[in-house]
Amino acid sequence: MIASCSCIISANPKLDFVKAMHHFFVDLQREGISTHALIDSGATIGENVSIGANSIIGPDVKIGDNVIICANVVITGEVAIGDNTVIKSNSTIGSEGFNFVYDNDKPLHFPHIGKIIIGNNVMIGSNTCIERGALDDVIIKDDVKIDDLVQIGHNVSIGEKSLICAGSIIAGSVRIGKGCYIAPIVCVDSGVVVKDDALLGTGSIVRKDVPNGAVMVGNPARKLR
């Protein structure tokens, strides 16, 4: 080792490196509320909120403090968004889900009267759709991170600190526990329960419940360990 070279000893180098990057380089630009955003007078907006151009905020939306909503986001229906949450461009939150029953051989839409409750420190990526509940609420708990191009169906619940990668589809009434990792392009079928700390591998099609800590891969998904 060169005598004049400084060094830092770390038990978790990647984590400490990321923390240093946040300290020196990451500066979230809060531009306030754009004059080109359309915000209903019935909406509740917290302190230090940023809302980008062309975003639409409906009358029953409640937004917490320090929230960043980027451009071209649409939020409708009864939606509550916790503090320090980031919603990236072109996402839609609160639209009605895809749920039909047949009436004399014609599909009749099932009305969606549920809410969406989004916790604190949540990230929602670009071009992501989160449908409101049909009867039950959609619940996204604290510290959940959702990537771009993700579909979240009606009545879904996602536990704390879970990560959902790009291109994944979470069908209606799915229950995802805390600390789960859902890799890119995963499809979780309607009503499946994914328990805490599970990992669903890239491209998996998950049709059955997943136990705690399981690693599932394939189509149909099978337990790897």
**pLDDT < 70 stretches in the chain:** 1-3, 26-30
DSSP summary character for residue 98: -
pLDDT one-digit tens code per residue, 116-131 = 999 999 999 999 999 9
Q: How far apart are CA 71 and CA 89, in angstroms?
A: 5
pLDDT at 29: 61
Write down the domain spans for the chain: 33-223
pLDDT at 54: 97
**Cα atoms in the 13 Å half-sphere on the side-chain side of 11:** 0
Check: CB of residue 130 under 8 Å from CB of residue 92. Answer: yes
Judge whether 22 counts as a catalytic residue: no
Check: CB of residue 96 under 8 Å from CB of residue 119. Answer: no
Q: How far apart are CA 197 and CA 200, in angstroms?
A: 10
Q: How far apart are CA 80 and CA 89, in angstroms?
A: 18
Fold of 33-223: UDP N-Acetylglucosamine Acyltransferase; domain 1 (2.160.10)
What pTM was computed for the model? 0.89
